[in-house]
Structure 1
Amino acid sequence: MDNKKRIYYGWYIVFSASIITLLTMGMRMGIGPFVNPVMTDLGMSRTDLSIIIAFGMIVYGMGMPVAGLLLKSYSTRFVMLLGLAVVCLSIVWTVNSTGFISFFLSFGVFLSLGLSFLSNISLSPIVSKWFVRQRGKALFYLTTGGMAGIAIMTPVETWLIQLVGWQLTLLIFAGIFIVIVLPSAIFIMKEDVPEEADGGVNAGNRERVAALENITWKDALATRAYWQIVFGLFACGFGMNLLGSHGVPMLIDHNYEPMIASFGVGMIGIVAIFSTLLLGQLADRFPRKNILSLVYFVRGLGFFGLVLSISTWQLFLVAIVGGLVWAGSIAMSTAILSDLYGVRLLGILNGWAFFMGHQIGAALGSFLGGWGYEVFDTHLFSFGIAGVLAIFASLASITLPQHISFSKKIEGELVQEAK
């Protein structure tokens, strides 16, 4: 067979990682359907459950740099199998929980940790290794799994919970995790990348790639660009997890039927799946920071539109428009990190950025979504904050540098950042 007609092996890794991300993101960020039944069965208030969800988001983020260190010391296969074991054991513990403490530890702590080892942040380093010329596209397609997770699993979870209850729903997904993750880790995730993967790097970039091999994570943290990316991820985490945790309850409070509310939130992910395919084609053709800025800006307007919707057609119109740019913030942030600081440090830098930015924001968004409604009796408080943060993230993104020059003194100190 002509080698030119063969599918590049890296795309098998992208496909497998996208399916795993679908499950992970759907389980972590599509928690909305579980809120009311868990509160009813375990006798929790919305604030109680919001605290558990918020702490879980922090643990989920803390697991990212831990996964980065494990990836550097061991392999993607090891991290995936460890994550699978923790997820399955945590789900068994969760369904047998009878009170706040046991649910906090099982669902909030250990399930979050296990899912972090199977997240797109843990899988993006191996995708970045296999792709150079089409790295932006590959990472966008990886993000498609996360969008599909929100789109597919939110209504599926709602349907299953109504059919068999929230405990059996979790057990069903534990079985699905085993069926998908186990063979993927063993047979698909290969670490040995061909020297000229995805066309390799051109001669003009070889010197820069070699130079990035000499920088440390401390050098990266000393640059303003890194913290601009962290702030953008903070806004991303705040808004995405606010929507995932409180979007469905918010719409129900606004007198939408439960399934309409679920499909309204799910529609964002459905549209995002297709928009990701388009954005993926653009990711390697235009400055990544421009795409990232546009994503944040339109998303910010979408949060205001969603909370102010008063009819079904308005809800679905906002969901469709918002879905056009819902994907891409994590993919573009990851691609920009690899462009600025190289692939060698991507696991650690991406993990810390996701923890310090995305998951701290996720924790606040999840908590303020419940607390703000109980205190102010309106969802406009939390969803308005999400909109403002996204717009500021758009401004931070558009001012990112295209490249960073690292000039070393004899002592090895960072002395210059060039835009």
Structure 2
Amino acid sequence: MKALKAREKAREKAGQTVKRRLHPAWLVAAVGLLALVGAAGFRAAPGVLMVPLQQEFGWPTTVLSAAVSINLLLFGLTAPFAAALMERFGIRLVTSIALAMIGAGSALTVFVQQSWQILLTWGLLIGLGTGSMALVFAATIVNTWFVKHRGLILGILTAGSAAGQLVFLPVIAQLAQSPGWRQASLLIAAGAFVVIPLVLIFMKNKPADVGVLPLGAEAVDPAEVPVSSNILDEPKQNAALRALQVLRRASKVPTFWALVAGFAICGATTNGLIGTHFIPSAHDHGMPETTAAGLLAVVGIFDIVGTIASGWLTDRFNPKILLALYYQFRGIGLLVLPLLLSATVQPSMVVFVVIYGLDWVATVPPTAAICRRVFGADGSIVFGWVFAAHQVGAAIAATLAGVIRDATGQYTYAWLGAAALCTMAAVISATMRKDRKNEPLKEQLPSELPA
């Protein structure tokens, strides 16, 4: 009843929103963007801090890769439950707690002396925090607050993580050199903590809280407005149970498994390999760590451009074809990467980082769009499960690449294997099944999915 009254109130005040110069959705999106930037500090850290930690403590690559793998795994597995928690308790509270966990984990890292402690801080604490601030956070904002421009806004929010890495990466790399990696960790903590007050003050949970409809909605449509618009009015709803129920329904739809397979490979070839091992690999070839970090910063610049462009394209073209193209371009880049690494930055390496940057998370808008179109109101949580697969792939790749490096003394086989996986992802995406009527993907309510 409360949800119904809230929708009626929103409809009554919809006419008043015409007079507003700025729809509240834009403010929520802006705060969400800042939160993603603030949470992105750690995403830039492992590749930069691995070498200084190895030099100080003598830990092998496998140990630090394991810490990153735990982080990446929790980063993904937390996502669907975080989406359900946002429906249950609100975006604002969950986001604030997540940022606090990232800040605390980063600050506590300065006290580590044993390898198990880095597993606890980098792996467990920061993993849970970043998992709650994963791309499912952006998808929840978009699905709750927007009807128009969803692809574009999701592209912009997704680019927030890249922008955060772009802001943090050069500074972290410089601090890691002098005065040291501990100061770099404190910078990451500060980046997370400083955003919390903005989230608490300006973030709103749902349009009905401020008496408006989602941006672009003429009336409240259950197929367009996600469950998060009314779930807050049902305090007995169990977030974990809801996430598992959505997984049960989604697992009976072939499209879900195609997205899971493709996104697992996406995670393996971004966060798992390039994000974790590019700087150590470049260092193996004689390139200074700060120079390699600068190349990753260039990836971040073009990641912003590519992700926003992908959001725009997703609003206009078939998302599964976009996915196939993105994965194939990535595979070609990884295939030639072993030939490009050297002690100095050659023009061919610049071309690689530009193309790889454009492609980095360009897969997110079309993947989220397919989740929304096929699973309707459950789309955000389904995307959370798909993103979990992304991070499982990243965790496996981060560990295997470390093992390959320790066993062979180089990363070549890791790059070539990843290139082959990208070709597989392209084929899976291009041949993704349509709905049972053999028509283009369309919006479906959860009740329309197989029971």
Q: Same fold (TM over 0.5)?
A: yes
Return the offset for 1:196: 4.4
Match of 2:310 in 1: 279
CA contact (8 A) 1:71 1:347 kept: no
CA contact (8 A) 1:68 1:351 kept: yes
d(CA) in 2 for partners of 1:367 and 1:294? Answer: 27
Q: Which amino acid aligns with 1:16?
A: V
1:359 equivalenced with 2:391 (yes/no): yes
Matches within 5 A, 1:13-412: 13-28=28-43, 30-193=45-208, 196-200=213-217, 216-241=246-271, 242-310=273-341, 312-342=346-376, 344-355=377-388, 357-400=389-432, 401=434, 402-403=440-441
Return the offset for 1:249: 0.9
Return the offset for 1:217: 4.1
d(CA) in 1 for partners of 2:327 and 2:200? Answer: 33
384-393 or 32-41, which moves further after superposition?
A: 384-393
CA contact (8 A) 1:407 1:414 kept: no
Q: 1:8 aligns with which of 20, 23, 29?
A: 23
d(CA) in 2 for partners of 1:65 and 1:408? Answer: 16
Return the offset for 1:405: 8.5
d(CA) in 1 for partners of 2:289 and 2:246? Answer: 49
CA contact (8 A) 2:374 2:444 kept: no
CA spacing shift, 1:22–1:301, aligned 2, 3 Å: farther
23-32 or 120-129, which moves further after superposition?
A: 23-32
SS at match of 1:363: helix
CA spacing shift, 1:211–1:234, aligned 2, 3 Å: closer
Return the offset for 1:3: 4.5
Return the offset for 1:25: 3.6
CA contact (8 A) 1:406 1:414 kept: no
SS at match of 1:255: coil
For this pair of structures, how many residues does the alignment match? 408
Q: Which amino acid aligns with 1:22?
A: V
Return the offset for 1:263: 1.6
CA spacing shift, 1:78–1:307, aligned 2, 3 Å: same
CA contact (8 A) 2:109 2:122 kept: yes
d(CA) in 1 for partners of 2:123 and 2:306? Answer: 32
SS at match of 2:195: helix
d(CA) in 1 for partners of 2:93 and 2:391? Answer: 24
d(CA) in 1 for partners of 2:426 and 2:195? Answer: 36
Return the offset for 1:319: 0.8
CA spacing shift, 1:209–1:272, aligned 2, 3 Å: closer
CA contact (8 A) 1:35 1:49 kept: yes
Q: Which amino acid aligns with 2:132?
A: F
CA spacing shift, 1:125–1:54, aligned 2, 3 Å: same
281-290 or 357-366, which moves further after superposition?
A: 281-290
1:115-172 CA-to-partner distances (Å, cap 9, x unmatched) read 2122222232122211122111111111111222343332221012123211121112
Q: Which runs of no fewer than 5 residues in structure 1 stay unpaired?
A: none
Return the offset for 1:413: 8.1
CA contact (8 A) 2:170 2:297 kept: yes
SS at match of 1:197: coil
Q: Which amino acid aligns with 1:414?
A: P
SS at match of 2:173: helix
CA spacing shift, 1:280–1:27, aligned 2, 3 Å: same
CA contact (8 A) 1:128 1:139 kept: no
Q: Share of identical aligned residues, percent?
A: 25
d(CA) in 2 for partners of 1:173 and 1:408? Answer: 40
SS at match of 1:133: coil
Return the offset for 1:33: 0.3
Q: Which runs of no fewer than 5 residues in structure 2 stay unpaired?
A: 1-15, 229-244, 435-439
Return the offset for 1:390: 1.8
CA contact (8 A) 1:14 1:141 kept: no
d(CA) in 2 for partners of 1:102 and 1:188? Answer: 34
Q: Which amino acid aligns with 2:384?
A: G
CA contact (8 A) 1:372 1:378 kept: yes
Q: Which amino acid aligns with 2:429?
A: S
d(CA) in 2 for partners of 1:369 and 1:182? Answer: 39
d(CA) in 2 for partners of 1:414 and 1:231? Answer: 21
d(CA) in 1 for partners of 2:226 and 2:193? Answer: 41
CA spacing shift, 1:103–1:325, aligned 2, 3 Å: closer
CA spacing shift, 1:334–1:25, aligned 2, 3 Å: farther
d(CA) in 2 for partners of 1:142 and 1:263? Answer: 23
d(CA) in 2 for partners of 1:210 and 1:69? Answer: 15
CA contact (8 A) 1:32 1:154 kept: no
SS at match of 1:198: coil
d(CA) in 2 for partners of 1:360 and 1:217? Answer: 16
CA spacing shift, 1:45–1:378, aligned 2, 3 Å: same
Q: Which amino acid aligns with 2:138?
A: L
